[in-house]
Amino acid sequence: MGDYETEYPPRDLAAGAFVTRLGPSPTGFIHLGNLFMAIVNARLARQSGGVFFLRIEDTDRKRETEGAVSGLIEALSYFGVEFDEGPGAAGAGAGDVAGEIGNYGPYFQSERGEIYRAYARRLVLEGKAYPCFLSEERIAEIRAEQEAAKELPGIYGKYAEFRGVSFEEAQRRVKDGEPYVLRLNAEATGQKEPSLLSDGIRGEVRLQGNVLDVVLLKRDGLPTYHFAHVVDDHLMRTTHVIRGEEWLSSLPVHIALARALGFEPPVYCHTALLMKQDAGGRRKLSKRLDPEAALSYYMADGYHPAAVTEYLLTLINSDFEEWRLSNPEVDNAEFVVRTEKMGAAGMLLDIDKLRDVSRERLARIPAAELAEFILDWAKRERPDVYAVLKENEGRLAAALDIGRQGDKPRKDLVYAAQIFDFVSYFFDEYFCLADPLPENVSESDAADLLRGYSATYDHSDAPAGWFEKIRELAEAHGFAARPKDFKNNPGKYKGHVGDVSAVIRRALTGRLNAPDIYEVQQVLGEERTRRRLVI
């Protein structure tokens, strides 16, 4: 194996640099867990001066989904994840599956077959692996026998019926075309006893040693996840493997494999699972049951990538929220992610909290930049809306800027679909009278108020003078100039100045709840404002 060790030498990096990877299987849609892992791996590599690469673990041909790899690269790129090596790495082009960047490829496991076969041959020659000719029917019988006896399922001990087969017999069976898999010889690895294994998140964990003769190469010659990732992480010089806690039980197998091959295992870090509150309890977030598990859920609604990243950082490290409070204006790229700060308990996905984080994050994004984001969302998700917004891009930016200045900017913008609904009335194509008149105002009174307001309206009025006209209008039509006057003597008035403002607000926006009317008018412009005041 010296040739491969030379071809893939240790990386020339500073001491303490992390080499991390994302290793998804192209077997379905990309989910929130992929993004969570990508952010953790990218941060650990970048902040240490290391390398973050993408490796496509495409050895399960039966489950592979067409377009999954390009979809994965595009979705991660949307959320700001960049790779140093692999398909889609910086320089290869966004969504570029054919092009790869880096000297440790191929980065598709399906193209590394000769490497796996070479290491498999070595294990066979050293007596650490063997061809197993058990048929599917015989394996089913063994499983039934183990289940009845309440034994550990799998091939080991007396069930490893081909472990001791002679080289001559194995060779004859192979030549005769008999199907086989290659299995690890657990008896030869010396890793059967329980031991303390180190985890980069959980510290020392006591796990049962490996007794299973796990499959290394399948009948089609492709490697299993167990074998391929151990070989690849060694040759690609991965220093830290960050993965979900569902893989913790497989750690003894992977440590045994690494040692059988003479490799120094990387630091394994098993994260907590993403959970969902359900029926009074918590359960694992399900790709099958929960739409919010898919990244497409957040892209379709138009959650800003920075907001989603910021929210996931609150799950990744427990001290991120404290850091953010102390550094409200600092880019979160300055926050240092630490594996020892990652929790071992289940992480609750809280959409309400995501929305709160998004409100805070969007309040710090300039209106012009936010308008560009809304346009990008509309172009992708709502092309009919995009045409209108693009034609009126300046008005969109001005509408988004209402109430965002000063020490206490508004924080009611959450995600693109909600934001578009929020500002849609600025565009005649989407304007409608969505809300009824205030309870204290009749149709005839509303008509009189709007005629009176239109008659005195001056688009150049300053805010103070403009509102004084509304007070005068209220008094002239039997409404109190101040809410407290109406509250103290309700029988004397039809309502109060707030009701008059609501009538004007509804005429201009179609809604009773909308931002400051004066600012709305400035964005609408005089002509459009006057047109909407006409009964």
Q: What is the pLDDT confidence band of residue 289, given thresholds at 50, 70 and 90?
A: confident
- Distance in angstroms (rounded) separating the CA atoms of residues 501 and 483: 12
Q: Which residues of 230-258 are buried (b: 16+ CB within 10 A; e: fewer)?
A: bbbbbbbebbbbbbebebbebbbbbbbbb
Query: Is the predicted pLDDT of residue 1 greater than 70, yes or no?
Result: no
pLDDT, position 208: 85
230-285 pLDDT, tens digit per residue, is 999 999 999 999 999 999 999 999 999 999 999 999 999 999 999 998 877 888 99
Q: Which residues of 352-368 are buried (b: 16+ CB within 10 A; e: fewer)?
A: eebbebbbebbbebebe
Q: Which two tokens stand for residue 498?
A: 């707030």
Q: For the chain, what percent of residues have pLDDT higher than 70?
A: 97
pLDDT, position 97: 52
Average pLDDT value over all residues in the chain: 92
Longest CA–CA separation in the chain, Å = 109
Could you tell me which residue, 97 or 99, shows the higher pLDDT?
99
Q: By mean pLDDT, which of 297-306, 345-354, 443-452 is the weakest?
A: 345-354
The neighbouring-strand residues paired with 129 are 184
Find all residues with CB under 8 Å of 457, minimum gap 6, and list them.
529, 530, 533
The neighbouring-strand residues paired with 278 are 281
- Distance in angstroms (rounded) separating the CA atoms of residues 167 and 332: 59
pLDDT, position 96: 47
Q: Which domains does the chain have, with CATH numbers?
A: 2-111 (3.40.50.620), 113-271 (3.40.50.620), 291-362 (1.10.1160.10), 367-430 (no CATH), 443-533 (1.10.10.350)
Asked if residues 347 and 386 have their Cβ atoms less than 8 Å apart, the reply is no
Q: Which residue has the tokens 């926006």?
A: 509
Please state the rounded mean pLDDT for residues 128-135.
96
Q: Which amino acid is at 41?
A: N
Q: Which two tokens stand for residue 409?
A: 């900017």
Please state the rounded mean pLDDT for residues 15-25.
95
Asked if residues 268 and 254 have their Cβ atoms less than 8 Å apart, the reply is yes
Dihedral sign for Cα 464, 467, 473, 478, please: negative
Query: Is the predicted pLDDT of residue 293 greater than 60, yes or no?
Result: yes
State the DSSP string of 54-115: E-B----GGG--TTHHHHHHHHHHHTT---SBEET-TTT-TT-SS-EESSS---BGGG-HHH
pLDDT, position 527: 96
295-338 pLDDT, tens digit per residue, is 999 999 999 999 999 999 999 998 999 999 999 989 999 999 99
Please state the rounded mean pLDDT for residues 465-487.
95
Active site residues: 287
Q: Taking the model in full, what pTM does it have?
A: 0.90
